[in-house]
Structure 1
Amino acid sequence: MQKEQAIEMMKAFSDANSTSGFEEEFVKLFTETVKDLADVEVDGMLNAYAAKKENKPGRPVIQMDAHSDSVGFITQAVRPSGMIKFVPLGGWVKYNIPALRVRVRNRDGEYIPGVVATKPPHFMTQAERNTLPEVADMSIDVGSSSREETINDYKIDTGCPIFVDVKCEYNDKNGLFFGKDFDDRFGAGAMVAILDELKGEETNFNVVGALSSQEEVGLRGAYVTTRKIKPDLGIVLESCPADDTFTPAWLSQTGLKRGPMIRDMDTSFLPNPKFEQYVCDLADQNKIPYTRSVRTGGGQDGAAMYYENGAPTVVIGIPVRYEHSPYCFTAYEDFRNAVKLATAIIRDMTTERLAGFSKFN
């Protein structure tokens, strides 16, 4: 995939509206993007399956995974004032939410602009100036002046999804993307780029890319995709939080332009150590930069893939600054190196190597 093509793809992927349970806009975009590279189907949970066209019956299977949802919100109720009371979807921290520009999808499927309302400082008490409200006390304003207007005219009520409204940009001078929902649109883009790299190529394993739904609310889609695909090996393409702006250099394990992150641990996942070391050795052989990380928080679809089917699984993370916030940075070169590493694994994998990951010394 040419650089210009990849950049335009990632900008479109980032701009798509897709939060947990409401992934259809991005799933449609993904399936259109990958249809010439794979045989595609979508299930009732909005998980998408992209099977490499050269797959043959009876061969072992490598499942790639990326997730289609991002953090967002859902309408809980409409207040008497017409303001929207909302509930987060996924892992938000409350100080990233006030004054956020959003898009509310109403009952007719139209997108209504809004903002997480904040009281002007002119009207704040001293205590209010120094206190951040709880999410339950925040509201979204779409310009309405009454509950009736919001429900009847704007057609917004309980269950309407709410998306972050930020446009993705790419700066060619520094090679950085700036936008929203990079978790996990860059993993999804990497999956497309890998299938493009392998187009027309025979591999020892069948390759199936799974775009899993509802990761941000409990890895739900990945359990379903793994049960269906029954992989022998797993490659998770995740967008992972970078720590290079707030962690001492000796402890920082994920940063921009340092290569993809290979995850050794998080709260949901401990990988097969032989497969993990194989991936690192393969990266060294191919001169692909990477970092390794042991995380005391977080979780990702690798847990569902590994624990559901017992397939050795690696998490290849594309570093993202300020993940789970409205505004993120990520580097094109990290995206490309993640694609190179995953492609190298698929090309190098044999049944003998796979068997070695479960043997005792």
Structure 2
Amino acid sequence: MKKSQAVQLIQELSNANGVSGFETEVVRILQHATADFTIQRLDAIKNLYLEKKNNLSEGPVVLFDAHSDEVGFMIQAIKENGLLRFLPLGGWVPNTISAQKVRIRNREGTYLPGVVTSRPPHFMTPEERQRPLTIADLTIDIGATSKEEVIETYKIDLGAPVIPDVTCCYNEQTDLFLGKAFDCRIGCACLVDVMEELKEETLPFKLVATVTAQEEVGERGALIAAKQVNPDLAIVFEGCPADDTAETPEMIQSAMGKGPMLRYFDVSMITNPEFQEYALEIAKIHKIPVQVSVRSGGGTNGMAITQVQGAPTIVVGIPVRYAHTPHCYVDFQDYQAAKELVIQLIKNLDADKIQALVQPLSKE
């Protein structure tokens, strides 16, 4: 994929509306982007399955995965004064939500603007100024003055999805993107880019990709997809939290601009050591910048995939500054390094190597 095409795809995916459970817009973009070189199908939860054309009909199965959903909110209640109470979909820090512009989908499918309320300091008591903010303290204002107006005029009901109202921008001089939802739209774009680059390759295994729903609320789509695909090996594309502005120097393990991050451990999985070693060796041979990490938190679709039949799985994380906030940075050079790493991993794989990774203790 040409750089201009990749930039356009990343921006389009970042701008798309797609909180957990409402990923249709993202799926449509990906279907269009991969129509020429994949065989596609959808399931009921909105997982998108992409099988490489001219695949082997049998043999080992290698899975690519990225999740389509983004963190957002859902309308929980409508107050008599027209303000909307909401719940988070995915992990949010309340301080990053207050005073942000959002989009709310009404029953006709139109996204309407709103703003997350913030209490002006003029009306706050000293105790309120000191008390930590919670999501329960916040509401969304769409300009209505009554509950009836919200329902009848704006046509907003309970259960309506809400996303940050942010437009992605790209700086050609710095190669940086600033936008929302790079966890995991940057991973989705990279998956598509790699699949396109491999479309003419004759591979000694089946290559299947899944773009899975509802990762941010518990890896639900990936668990279903992994059972369908039953992979022998898996590579998860992710937009991982960059830590270079948050950690002390010795703890920085996913800095923006230093290549993709490959984790040994997070709270959801221990990465298969042999597969991790293979990936790092490929990166070294091809002089691809990578970072390694041991995470005290986090979690990815890798957990769901490994729980199906224990398929060796690595997570290729593209660092995202300020993940799970409305405004995030991504470096295109990290995207390119992640793309090149996965391409080289695939080109150097064969059935024997897959077998050695799947059964590392087998005798020759």
Give the shorter-chain TM-score range.
Answer: over 0.9
What runs of 5+ residues in structure 2 fail to find an aligned partner?
Answer: none
Q: Does 1:90 align with 2:110?
A: no
Give 1:257 deviation, angstroms: 1.1
Q: Does 1:18 align with 2:9?
A: no
How far apart in 1 are the matches of 2:213 and 2:228? 14
Counterpart of 1:243 in structure 2 is 243
- Please give the secondary structure, in 2, of the residue aligned with 1:250: helix
- Please give the secondary structure, in 1, of the residue aligned with 2:239: strand
Give 1:307 deviation, angstroms: 1.6
Give 1:12 deviation, angstroms: 0.5
Counterpart of 1:152 in structure 2 is 152
How far apart in 2 are the matches of 1:23 and 1:45? 9
Counterpart of 2:308 in structure 1 is 308
Aligned residues of 2:56 and 2:203 also touching (Cα < 8 A):
no
Q: Which amino acid aligns with 1:230?
A: N
Structure 2-normalised TM-score? Answer: 0.97
Aligned residues of 1:205 and 1:346 also touching (Cα < 8 A):
no
Deviations 1:255-303 (A, max 9, x none): 1111000011000010211111011001101110100110010100011
Aligned residues of 1:204 and 1:347 also touching (Cα < 8 A):
no
Counterpart of 2:360 in structure 1 is 359
How far apart in 2 are the matches of 1:291 and 1:138? 38
Aligned residues of 1:65 and 1:212 also touching (Cα < 8 A):
yes
Deviations 1:314-347 (A, max 9, x none): 1000000000011100100100111111111111
How far apart in 1 are the matches of 2:332 and 2:50? 24
Aligned residues of 2:64 and 2:236 also touching (Cα < 8 A):
yes
Give 1:118 deviation, angstroms: 1.1
Counterpart of 1:136 in structure 2 is 136
Counterpart of 1:285 in structure 2 is 285
What is the number of equivalent residue pairs in this alignment?
361
- Please give the secondary structure, in 2, of the residue aligned with 1:191: helix
Counterpart of 2:189 in structure 1 is 189
How far apart in 2 are the matches of 1:299 and 1:133? 25
How far apart in 1 are the matches of 2:118 and 2:47? 37
Counterpart of 1:337 in structure 2 is 337
Give 1:59 deviation, angstroms: 2.2
What runs of 5+ residues in structure 1 fail to find an aligned partner?
Answer: none
Give 1:244 deviation, angstroms: 0.5
Q: Which amino acid aligns with 2:283?
A: A
- Please give the secondary structure, in 2, of the residue aligned with 1:345: helix
How far apart in 1 are the matches of 2:331 and 2:40? 29
Q: How does 1:195-206 map to 2 (within 5 A)?
A: 195-206=195-206
Q: Which amino acid aligns with 1:206?
A: K
How far apart in 2 are the matches of 1:200 and 1:276? 27
Root-mean-square deviation over aligned CA pairs: 1.1
Counterpart of 1:164 in structure 2 is 164
How far apart in 1 are the matches of 2:203 and 2:347? 6
Over the matched positions of the two proteins, sequence identity in percent amounts to: 43
